[in-house]
Amino acid sequence: MEIKVVKDILGANDRIARKNRQLFDGNKVFVVNVMASPGAGKTSVIMETIKRLKGKTGVGVVEGDISSSLDAEAISKEDVPVVQINTGGECHLDANMTAIALGDLPLKDIDLLLIENVGNLVCPAEFALGEDIKVLISSTPEGDDKPFKYPLMFHEADVVLINKIDLLPYLKFDVDAFSKTIQGINRKVKIFPVSCTTGQGIEAWVSWLLERMGKS
């Protein structure tokens, strides 16, 4: 006997993500899912963002890594609540791991929750966490051909931060062509060229974020 199913394989994850979203909305927390390949600058962007938001808005961080708590320790120096999730081998965060971590965060004191996903350009795009926006960090040394190699990630992103633009003089990275490629398939995307080393562009990104949160 054949049974027609036609159900999304990740439907169970999506249901938990919707529950997370309800919890976030109930506590008025704006949630950003930060995704990138390893070494693109996720932790650096989060640190720079926290520095500029201190005193303006309550920030919390979830750190997702396969193992170690190095990033969480670095971020806890900024004196914001941070929870580490070690996925134990899984290459992405999922809605359930996020739900468990939320129990350890003072959501009532948090306006902005930055969730650092596992460094990976494939899998995190599939797994909703309950976020308001997806931010993809793509750094210039990775090359400007990345959208062609990881189309889903670039298609799903609400924001692309082109990080390490201070290195542009040494690299063959065409910012205009790169941006045009992404905008071609993704009409909603906002693109900000930034450098966490020089601070260039960070202000523009943070201002946009505050405006998106309805806080400017």
Partner 1 sequence: MHELAITQSMLDLVLKQAGEAEAGKVGKISLVIGEMTGVVPRSVGFYFEFLAKGTPAEGAALNFKVIPATARCRDCAKEFELGEFDWTCPHCQSNNIEIIGGKELFVESIEVE
Binding site for partner 1 (CB under 8 A): 1-13, 90-92, 94, 120, 122-123, 126-127, 145, 147-148, 150-152, 155, 180-181, 183-185
Cα dihedral across residues 69, 104, 85, 121: positive or negative: negative
| Sequence-separated (6 or more) residues with CB below 8 Å from residue 32 | 112, 113, 114, 115, 131, 132, 133, 134, 135, 209
> Could you tell me if 161 and 136 are in contact, meaning their C-beta atoms sit under 8 angstroms apart?
yes
Q: Are strands 190-193 and 30-36 parallel, antiparallel or unpaired?
A: unpaired
Closest CB to partner 1 among residues 91, 204:
91
Distance CA 9, CA 2 (A): 18
- The number of beta carbons lying within 10 Å of the beta carbon of residue 57 is 16
Closest CB to partner 1 among residues 5, 214:
5
Closest CB to partner 1 among residues 1, 55:
1
Closest CB to partner 1 among residues 78, 126:
126
Closest CB to partner 1 among residues 162, 209:
162
Stated as kind and residue range, the H or E segment containing 42 is helix 42-53
> Could you tell me if 84 and 63 are in contact, meaning their C-beta atoms sit under 8 angstroms apart?
yes
Min dist CB 208 to partner 1, Å, is 23
Closest CB to partner 1 among residues 10, 74:
10
| Distances 159 to 8, 12, 127 between C-alpha atoms, Å | 26, 26, 17
Min dist CB 193 to partner 1, Å, is 20
Min dist CB 171 to partner 1, Å, is 18
Min dist CB 36 to partner 1, Å, is 15
Min dist CB 155 to partner 1, Å, is 6
Min dist CB 125 to partner 1, Å, is 8
Helices (H), 57-140: 70-76, 95-102
